[in-house]
């Protein structure tokens, strides 16, 4: 019982130490992203080579499960040799674009989940020589996807801060054109002509008839 308790305490202590180390690590920068992408490419090649070493047809299970596991292995091979390199090039072309990096991160999450499942199957149905390399590959992918997640988070924060710091341009009011009166002779007022007063006509006497 003491041995079990000691083992549990050791695992907990190791987990806490790893969490503390991860929290103290500096954030991934754009320069560091190039290193992460290089490791993603190398890990993809290593994982694909380890998949090639699997002998799923000899595993201790029925043919239906063997077919299913072989399909998983084939899908992983296709993703690691086609999708991952394309996504890495897209991130490089976009110079660390957040959207492109997120697509790579999302794809690595899927690869990690299926690879971990295949590693578990290899541990239970295959040989240790088959499961151990896959477990190492899964651990490497897990570390890389965490680094990508850290970069995405900090790049997003930087973009938001930049957007807040950029002032919104104030619209310039458009002046309303005014009518201008130009005098032909400066300094003189234009005389306004006055109307002549017409005197009323005096009525003539009407002649008396004789």
Would the pTM of this model clear 0.75, i.e. be above it?
Answer: no
| Rounded (10°) angle between helices 98-125 and 84-93 | 160
- Number of neighbours of residue 75 by Cβ within 10 angstroms: 14
Once rounded to an integer, what is the mean pLDDT over residues 108-123? 97
Higher pLDDT, 52 or 195: 52
Burial letters 96-128, b for 16+ CB under 10 A, else e: bebebbbbbbebbeebbeebbebbebbeebbee
Residue range 119-133, pLDDT digits in tens: 999 999 999 999 999
Flag the least confident range among 32-46, 128-142, 149-163, 173-187: 173-187
Once rounded to an integer, what is the mean pLDDT over residues 12-36? 55
Q: How large a percentage of the chain has pLDDT more than 90? A: 59
Residue 14 burial (10 A CB sphere; 0-12, 13-18, 19+): exposed
């Amino acid at each position: 019982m003491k041995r079990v308790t000691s083992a549990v305490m050791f695992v907990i202590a190791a987990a806490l130490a790893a969490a503390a180390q991860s929290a103290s690590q500096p954030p991934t920068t754009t320069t560091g992203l190039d290193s992460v992408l290089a490791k993603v490419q190398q890990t993809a090649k290593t994982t694909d080579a380890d998949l090639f070493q699997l002998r799923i047809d000899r595993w201790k299970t029925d043919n239906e499960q063997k077919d299913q596991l072989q399909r998983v292995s084939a899908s992983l091979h296709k993703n690691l040799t086609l999708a991952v390199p394309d996504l890495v090039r897209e991130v490089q072309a976009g110079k660390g674009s957040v959207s492109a990096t997120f697509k790579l991160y999302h794809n690595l999450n899927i690869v990690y989940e299926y690879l971990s499942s295949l590693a578990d199957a290899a541990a239970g149905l295959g040989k240790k020589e088959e499961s151990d390399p896959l477990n190492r590959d899964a651990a490497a992918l897990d570390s890389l996807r965490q680094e990508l997640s850290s970069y995405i988070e900090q790049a997003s924060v930087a973009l938001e801060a930049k957007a807040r710091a950029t002032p919104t341009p104030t619209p310039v009011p458009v002046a309303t054109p005014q009518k201008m009166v130009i005098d032909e002779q400066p300094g003189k007022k234009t005389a306004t002509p006055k109307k002549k007063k017409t005197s009323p006509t005096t009525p003539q006497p009407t002649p008396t008839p004789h």
